[in-house]
Amino acid sequence: MILTEDRNYTISLELEDCENQTGLSSETVELEFTNKELLHAVITCGMPLQRLTPAWFSKRKSGLLYKIFLVETALDTEGDRLKKSKNIAYLDSSEKSVMSYYLGMFFTKLISRRLYGVDYLTHLNLIEKENGDGFIDFFAGEWRPDMIGYRMADDSWSVWEAKGGSNRREQALRKGSQQVEAIASVNGAKPDPAAVCMTYYERGYLCGVVRDPDSDQNKGEQLGFGQEQFWKAYYRPVFETFLECGAGTSFNGARAEVSLSLPCFTQNEKAGEERRILFGMPKAMFRHLMEDDYGFLKDENSDLWRECCPAGGFMGKDGIYIR
């Protein structure tokens, strides 16, 4: 798979809804998306190096290249379908698990946006406490869910647990359901949804399942944090990529943009052939982030941001675009 190719893809998703009276109901949908949408999810989701190496400033570009490498190495294409790559057949189960986890995380970001209108999705343990006393470590045990989502349209929060594996595993789905049920409320409101999202392979093709268990709001913990702390957790890793690139950041009209050169990760690419990804944001947003100001997001209109998106590019409601 080559993420920088302009292509459309399709993945089969099973949506499961657990209801008290009727039990488990489900429907299957075919989700179509572009390579730019998937790249947007890769760039804006999952920055584990932020917590591991806070003093290593060049971690952003390396982390981004690593994530793209994982996706391109793990997946092949057949028409508009994604398949498990034969290149990873020699890996042991632990190494494959790392790739599966990242794939599950990226597709959770993409699926939550497309099917549930989630504009922002970030790791719970990247959100700082309002009092400045480190990061939220609210769920230090094994039942802590992965990510918290925010939907601007109705000012609602969601809870997500990302899973990935070679096969669909009911045990993992049940554990994921218990993890998302560990949070009864986010900033005073019941999560909508609180779901576990798993990617897996069916006859070699990448598929997914989203399970929204029926949670009891009287159980679980009450999670609270500041809105600006959430936005900082989301935007800061992306913004630091701009800072790290330095001269590679350009300002074109109302846009701030980064151009990154990518090596060839797969045998389908010609050695020495240059390829690049370009992503950016409105210049006004860049200036606010430069000042560590996130309060402006409360009043910003995402429709105005879209005017800054280049022709042929993809921009999420977070104002970050890929072209």
Backbone phi and psi for residue 250, each to the nearest 5 degrees, phi listed first: -120, 155
Query: Residue 286 has which token pair?
Result: 């860049």
Cβ-based neighbours of 23, under 8 Å, separated by 6 or more: none
What average pLDDT does the chain have? 85
pLDDT at 83: 96
* pTM of the predicted structure, to 2 decimals: 0.90
**263 pLDDT more than 50:** yes
**DSSP annotation string for 76-143:** EEETTEEEE-GGGTTS-HHHHHHHHHHHHHHHHHHHHHHHH---EEEEGGGSBPTTSSSB--TT-STT
Q: Can you give 218-258 as a three-state secondary structure string? A: CCCEEECCCHHHHHHHHHHHHHHHHHHHHHHEEEECCEEEE
CB 44 within 8 A of CB 21: no
Q: Each residue of 92-132: pLDDT tens digit?
A: 888 888 899 999 999 999 999 999 999 999 998 888 877 76
Q: Each residue of 162-176: pLDDT tens digit?
A: 999 889 999 999 999
pLDDT at 54: 57
CA distances from 289 to 39, 104, 136, 236, 284 (A): 22, 29, 22, 8, 9
The radius of gyration of the chain's CA atoms, rounded to the nearest angstrom, is 19
Comparing 84-88, 92-96, 125-129, 296-300, the range with the smallest average pLDDT is 296-300
Helices vs strands, H then E, count in the chain:
8, 16
**22 pLDDT more than 70:** no
Distance between CA atoms of residues 158 and 282, nearest Å: 26
Distance between CA atoms of residues 166 and 7, nearest Å: 24
Distance between CA atoms of residues 41 and 212, nearest Å: 21
**DSSP annotation string for 279-291:** EEEEHHHHHHHHT
Comparing 131-140, 153-162, 201-210, 295-304, the range with the smallest average pLDDT is 131-140
CA distances from 297 to 49, 123, 156 (A): 25, 19, 15
Hey, which residues does 150 pair with through a beta bridge? 120, 157
Q: How confident is the model at residue 250 (pLDDT cuts 50, 70, 90)?
A: confident
